Amino acid sequence: MRVHISLQASDLIRSRQFYASLFGQQASLVKDDYLNFRLDEPSIHLALVQNDDAEAPSQQHFGVELPDAQTFSTWEKRALQTDNAEAVVPEPGAQCCYARANKVWIVDPDGHRWEIWHRTG
């Protein structure tokens, strides 16, 4: 099973670089107006479709729950290495949704917000 997410992107080159840095792997398929990343861990199929007129996204966000602190640390380091590292917001010890977690928030080049976390209690 793999979750599929499709997002519009105003600049596929910049988005490709951003997500390659964040995911720690290159895109699986690259076309002039489309690219995708097929991750095994976590099991995500992210598609990005070129749209020069893409409107700013709503305040919704996407999240990736990671299995342990070590994996979380790896993702947090990669988030800080993206070209949008100034928008990375760590949230250690967050209390949310009746759980405690270490989180990091990051925004992609088109303003899509990602919450990356691992549950601590």
**Residue pLDDT, tens place only, 37-66:** 999 988 999 999 898 775 655 557 888 889
Q: Tell me the C-alpha distance between 121 and 119, whole Å.
A: 6
Q: Strands, DSSP E only, in the chain?
A: 3-9, 29-30, 34-39, 44-50, 61-65, 89-96, 99-107, 113-119
pTM: 0.75
Residue 80 corresponds to which tokens in the numbers above?
């800080």
Q: Tell me the C-alpha distance between 15 and 27, whole Å.
A: 10
> pLDDT tens across 13-28, in order?
999 999 999 999 999 9
